[in-house]
Amino acid sequence: MKTLYIRMGTLLFCLAAYALHEARSAEAAEVTVVGFSQVGAESDWRQANTQSMRKAFSEAKGYKLIIKDAQQRQSRQLAAIHGFVDQKVGFIVVAPVTEDGWDEALQKAKEANIPVIIVDRKIKARSEDLYTCWVGSDFRKEGDEAVAWMEKNLKADKDLFIVHLQGSMGSSAQIGRTEALLAGEGRNPAWRVVARDSGAFTQAKGKEAMERILKQHTRIDVLYCENDDMALGAMEAMDEAGRSYGVKGDVAVISFDATRAGLTATLQGKINYNVECNPLHGPRVEEIVRRLKKGEVQEKYFYVPEAAFDAAFFTQSELDAREY
Ligand code: GYE
């Protein structure tokens, strides 16, 4: 009888140890699935943004990150959100291409109880309750920074002829940076925007737009360009047309993003003033996911810190110290 009790005891102990082992390995293997709908790969900024998300949501940290590249099309982003809900991901992250048109997809995620974090550009939703929170830049402030530099450094006793290259129309980045220039125009009667065109934030389209503009305008004092990729394209067009630009040239170049390529051009004096747009959202978004998992409440809006760089003061060591 005694032996039987001992055997049963041993058996129960083994079963309990096995159950504990199973529970522990399930816990260790618990993976958080995050669906990320990215705008595309249109610019260096965007690529740095995607990298930052990949790094933050690594497998080593217990994540499975599903990235869907929308190739700058909202229809693809909407399909991606619907797909993420059907797949029952734990969290959805969206970098929205435009501000409008998200209500229905977000409603579906809300009904499925999946938190949605918006990054980079903002959205105009029927209700702010349709998403959990937002992380990104203050685009109007970036534009105001650039316009303030123009007001201080490009004082014109006569008219200032400005060319304005815009990003993807309807995106918050375009809207904020454009509004700032329009406000500057309103305050400065000597400013004349002689041409305005969109280069959709890409180098190729920025070049094409600038080629068209250069054919029509012999005098240009300023190029206000809403990102570095388009500025690089526009500089190619100016090189080919034999027009001088930058600190020592005829056309002062104002740009946004402060990517490595953009800041290299700033260091070379080809871009006069470059306003940073910080793409490193990954760590912040990952922290938000961790906190949401613990049930902690988020602040609704988080603006990433940003700087601006004047070619007159920018140095090689500052460039070397940059993270992207
Ligand atoms: O400035 C541009 C990119 O939304 C902040 O999109 C982003 C903008 C960025 O393609 O380069």
259 lines ligand 1 (CB under 6 A): no
pLDDT digits 0-9 by tens, 287-306: 999 999 999 988 999 999 99
The SS3 call for residue 273 is: strand
**From the CA of 45, how far away is ligand 1's center (Å)?**
6
Which CATH code, of 3.30.450.30, 3.40.50.2300, 3.90.70.10, 3.40.630.30, is assigned to 139-277+310-320? 3.40.50.2300
Binding site membership of 43 for ligand 1 (Cβ less than 6 Å) = yes
Model confidence pTM above 0.85: yes
Mean pLDDT of 139-144: 98
- Identify residue 44 by its one-letter amino acid code: D
Contact 231, 275 (CB under 8 A): no
Nearest to 267 by CA among 279, 278, 251, 255: 255
Average pLDDT, integer, range 53-64:
98
User: Would you tell me the crossing angle of helices 282-293 and 44-56 to the nearest 10 degrees?
Assistant: 40
Q: What is the pLDDT of residue 298?
A: 85
Does the structure show a pLDDT above 70 at 194? Answer: yes
One fold for 30-137+279-293 and 139-277+310-320: yes
* Beta bridge pairs of residue 68: 37
Residue 194, SS3? strand
Phi/psi for 271 (5° steps) reads -110, 125
Query: What local confidence, expressed as pLDDT, does residue 7 receive?
Result: 61
Report how far residue 272's alpha carbon sits from residue 142's, in angstroms, rounded to the nearest whole number. Answer: 15
Q: Provide the pLDDT confidence category of residue 157 given band limits of 50, 70 and 90.
A: confident
Give residue 18 CA to ligand 1 midpoint distance, Å: 52
Give one DSSP letter per residue of 64-90, joined into a string: EEEEEE-TT-HHHHHHHHHHHHHTT-S
The stretches of the chain forming alpha helices (DSSP H) are 2-29, 44-56, 74-86, 103-111, 139-153, 172-187, 203-216, 228-240, 260-267, 282-293, 316-320
Structure tokens belonging to residue 44: 């260096």
Compute the distance between CA of residue 234 and CA of residue 85 in angstroms, rounded to an integer. 41
How many percent of the chain have pLDDT more than 70? 91
What pLDDT does residue 8 have? Answer: 53
Asked whether 257 lines ligand 1 (CB < 6 A), one says: yes
Pull the structure tokens for residue 94. Answer: 């969206």
Q: How far is the CA of 119 from the centre of ligand 1 (A)?
A: 11
What is the residue extent of each domain of the chain?
30-137+279-293, 139-277+310-320
Q: What pLDDT was estimated at residue 29?
A: 62
Q: pLDDT tens for residues 219-239?
A: 999 999 999 999 999 999 999
Question: Which pLDDT band, with edges at 50, 70 and 90, does 155 fall under?
Answer: confident
Q: 293 CA to middle of ligand 1, Å?
A: 29
| Cβ neighbours of residue 252 closer than 8 Å, sequence gap 6 or more | 150, 153, 154, 221, 222, 223, 245, 246, 272, 273
- How many Å apart are CA 122 and CA 139, to the nearest integer? 10
Q: Is the CB of 38 under 6 A from ligand 1?
A: no
Domain spanning 30-137+279-293 has what CATH number? Answer: 3.40.50.2300
pLDDT at 13: 53
Residue 20 in this model has a pLDDT that exceeds 80: no
| CB 120 less than 6 A from any atom of ligand 1 | yes
Q: Ligand 1 centre and the CA of 297: distance in Å?
A: 28
The predicted pLDDT at position 47 comes to: 97
* pLDDT band at 156; cut points 50, 70, 90: confident
pLDDT band at 51 (very low <50, low <70, confident <90, very high): very high
Average pLDDT rounded to a whole number, residues 173-180: 98
